[in-house]
Chains A and B, each alone.
Chain A
Amino acid sequence: MQKKVIFRGVALPVALLLPQLLITGIFFFWPAGQAVWSSFLREDAFGLSREFVGFENFVDVLTDPNYLTVVWNTAVFSVSVAVLAMAVALFLAVQADKAIRAATAFKTLLIWPYAVAPAVAAVLWLFLFHPQIGIFGRMLNNAGIMWDYKINGGQAMTLVIIAAAWKQVSYNFIFFLAGLQSIPKNVLEAAAIDGARPFRRFWTIIFPLISPTTFFLLVVNLVYAFFDTFGTIHALTQGGPGLSTTTLIYKVYVDGVQNLNFGSSAAQSVILMVLVMAMTAIQFRFIERKVHY
């Protein structure tokens, strides 16, 4: 799309674009190019020289059983976070849509967790589920369930899923409520007059009408679980015990920053970039909406 009436000149628009293009070039394209380039290189043990190794880093990454474990963790984590956060949000949004007068008040009371940082959300849940000082952690232990997320991988995964989903419900709630409120009331009244019970009305009329919102939120939630939950995991479990809460993003960090394995970390970065591009493309292809970076 283009305006019919425009200003002339080349120097001025270029100057206006320059700040953004400079930052994008230096901090986006240059490092992304570096990531691609160093994914084909390998550094010797002393970090003195790098040699070109072709696709060896990728082969190593993709055949490493640890990497496959992490892929599986990421899938379990992301799908659980998305499903949990969306199901709770949809349930609450349906209720808020019924409570017409108080919908706005409940909106205020339910949207604020969006503002809590993922890492801080993790800390709040740590206070609740710490095996010695947390109220729920102690309750579980007193009930005879050995609860310690620092030792038990399944418990650690459960806790990071809850902490990550808790924060994301607000976001989904806002979009589901907007979607529900845009459904014409006479459609629902007509169905009610025809004798359709509320439950049936929901699955045959309401749910299909908000399915674009649902699909859009599914992609956004998966992207959130993939990329924005580094803080949650770092603050709660540091990816442990063992590898049980290490996701793809967390592994890039561990291999690049802690293990200093640049070739492998770069190859993983490139794999993730391809993944983001695919997700963004899916989002555009099917719903013509943009991701928020």
Chain B
Amino acid sequence: MADAATLAAASRRRQTRGRVLAYAALVLGVLVFAFPIWMTLVGSTHDVGSLGRGDVPLWFGPHGAENYASAWTTGGAGTRNTFTVPASAMLFNSALMAVLIAVGKIAISLLSAYAVVFFAFPGRMIAFWLIFITLMLPVEVRIIPTFEVMVNMNLTNSMAGLTIPLMASATATLLFRQFFLTIPDEYVEAAKMDGAGPLRFFRDVALPLSVTNIAALFVILFIYGWNQYLWPLLMVNDRTLETIVVGLTKMIGTGDSQNEWNTIMATAMMALLPPVLVVVLMQRWFIKGLTETEK
């Protein structure tokens, strides 16, 4: 008996030690991951001179307010580039693009998944497979011909051109299809008996039941839309339509030390804050969306 007691005590001690090490490793991990943001945040509160000289500050300076104000209203003085875009305009473009893509994708996927699940009509499987195959055609691999299509349709330099081609999504359709299949047949029977047609059933039953899935997908798609890079880079050269992610890298150019780094860092903070906030504040839906779209 005494043996068992000492063994148990030893195992408990080992467990405690393991847990302390685990916490230490996790805290270190969190710090390593946050460090790039910390340096950017700190950098955005110093003046252009000290950053350009290479004095790398680890703590905040006194110039935060003016740096953010200058980024927000003018996008910096633009010593290198002749023309700068205010961050406020770029943030508006990014937000509009992200919301349009997310809402558009969810809307058309809900409709097509509903059609595929709740109706039997000739060509149903063909339609499903046509949508399914697009999983294999990410925009990056067909970028030049897609761009040519946009030129022919006169859609370059427009918000429509920026968003509509990114709205077709096999992932969202598959997710909603999966979910609709779990709606019990009895619900449909009951609705039919009450004389409700397919549109009524969609509005009163299918749609309300999908709310959590819609929220989860919205988080994922908002981030997807906000973080688009190659597509806006190609589609837009009218700088009034510039998104903040593309605009930020244009401010950097080739990474000259003479850049207005304080304004650039303030702009970088503004470019990453909205999607990060969405993930942190909607964490539950974010993780649901991430894991459900993958399985």
**A138 B56 Cβ-Cβ under 8 A:** yes
Q: Does A53 contact B (CB under 8 A)?
A: no
Whether, in the assembled complex, A108 has its beta carbon less than 8 Å from a beta carbon of chain B, the answer is yes
- Kindly specify which of A66-74, A75-83, A129-137, A203-211 makes contact with the partner chain: A129-137
Nearest residue, chain A, Cβ from B128? A17
Q: Tell whether A99 pairs with B26 under 8 Å between CB atoms, given A3-B117, A120-B272.
A: yes
Q: Which of A109, A122, A169 has the most CB of B within 10 A?
A: A109
State A5–B193 Cα separation when bound (angstroms). Answer: 12
Determine whether B74 belongs to the interface, using a CB cutoff of 8 Å to chain A.
no
Chain B interface size, as a band, is 35 or more
Q: Which of A113-168 contact B (CB under 8 A)?
A: 113-128, 130, 132-135, 138, 150, 166
Q: Which residues of A contact B164 (CB under 8 A)?
A: 23, 27
Are B168 and A24 within 8 A (Cβ)?
Answer: yes
By the criterion CB–CB under 8 Å, are B261 and A133 in contact? yes
How many A-B pairs with Cβ below 8 Å? 316
Known: A124-B268, A150-B255, A234-B249. A20 touches B112 (CB 8 A): yes
Q: Which of B109, B121, B140, B280 makes the CB contact (< 8 A) with A249?
A: B140
Asked whether, in the complex, the Cβ of B142 is within 8 Å of the Cβ of A32, the reply is: yes
- Tell me the A2-23 residues at the B interface (CB within 8 Å): 2-10, 12-14, 16-17, 19-21, 23
Query: Is the pair B40, A127 in contact by a Cβ cutoff of 8 Å?
Result: yes
Known: A127-B43, A227-B140. A19 touches B148 (CB 8 A): no
Report the stretch among B59-67, B75-83, B84-92, B283-291 that lies at the interface. Answer: B283-291
A110/B245 contact (C-beta < 8 A), A2-B120, A9-B121, A257-B144 known: no
**Can you name 29 A-B pairs with beta carbons within 8 Å?**
A3-B181, A12-B115, A14-B115, A21-B131, A27-B168, A30-B149, A31-B142, A35-B141, A91-B29, A92-B29, A110-B29, A112-B280, A115-B278, A118-B227, A118-B229, A123-B248, A124-B36, A127-B39, A130-B257, A150-B254, A150-B255, A174-B291, A234-B229, A252-B143, A256-B143, A273-B142, A276-B136, A280-B136, A290-B295
Which residues of A are at the interface with B, using a C-beta cutoff of 8 A?
1-10, 12-14, 16-17, 19-21, 23-32, 34-35, 38, 88, 91-92, 95-96, 98-99, 102, 106-128, 130, 132-135, 138, 150, 166, 169, 171, 174-175, 178, 192, 198, 216, 220, 227-228, 230-231, 234-235, 238, 249, 252-253, 256-257, 262, 265-266, 269, 272-273, 276-277, 280, 289-293
